[in-house]
Amino acid sequence: MHFTDRTDAGLTRTFAAVGGAVGLGITSDGSLYELIGADKGLRALIETFYDIVEFEPEGELLLTLHRRGHGVAHSRIEQFDFLSGFLGGPRLYVEHHGHSDVRAMHEHVDVSEEARDAWLKCMAIAIDRVGLPNDLKQRLMMPFTHVAKLLQDANAANVAIRQPPDRIA
């Protein structure tokens, strides 16, 4: 499964197949958005995540990538908007951009294995710092890990396509 369409339908299908999601960020006991504390909880998570990216060694690679792109301040806003809808809350990113295609969002970014792992590590640290319970951390990290892997795989495929063959048989 992959993110080819520009609606949340593609994400819904993908995450319905990953570990028991009833819908995009919706679980049998409510949305992940609600479980993390809705707007206030998500804001705390995003701010904590980007503080790690900006000021701690675990975020150094991500900070470099953000500086090549739109910058950290921009990413704090966009990630909040995206994760709001992704976790089952208001679809703010879709309202602003007309899609939630994570591959299109990251076309300009080299999502290497190291970048993928750094993002996941920073998010895991942020989840711990805002005090979410371990079971909720696991429920969040599962789709985050899945998307990060898809982005890293897509990047690897794009790099392979762009590289000319050494020789033609």
Q: Which CATH number fits domain 8-162: 2.40.100.10, 3.40.1480.10, 1.10.490.10, 3.40.630.30?
A: 1.10.490.10
Backbone angles phi and psi of 89, in degrees to 5: -100, -160
Exposure string over 125-146, b if 16+ CB within 10 A, otherwise e: bbbeebebeeeebebbeebbbb
Beta-bridged to residue 27, according to DSSP, are 30
SS3 1: coil
Q: What is the pLDDT of residues 83-93, one digit of tens each?
A: 999 999 999 99
The C-alpha atoms of residue 85 and residue 95 are separated, in whole angstroms, by 10
The C-alpha atoms of residue 100 and residue 114 are separated, in whole angstroms, by 24
Reported as a pLDDT band with limits 50, 70 and 90, residue 44 is very high
Query: pTM to 2 decimals?
Result: 0.77
Pairing relationship of beta strands 30-31 and 26-27 according to DSSP bridges: antiparallel
Provide the residue ranges of all domains of the chain, joining segments of one domain with +.
Answer: 8-162
Q: What is the pLDDT of residues 92-143, one digit of tens each?
A: 999 999 988 887 788 777 889 999 999 999 999 999 999 999 999 999 999 9
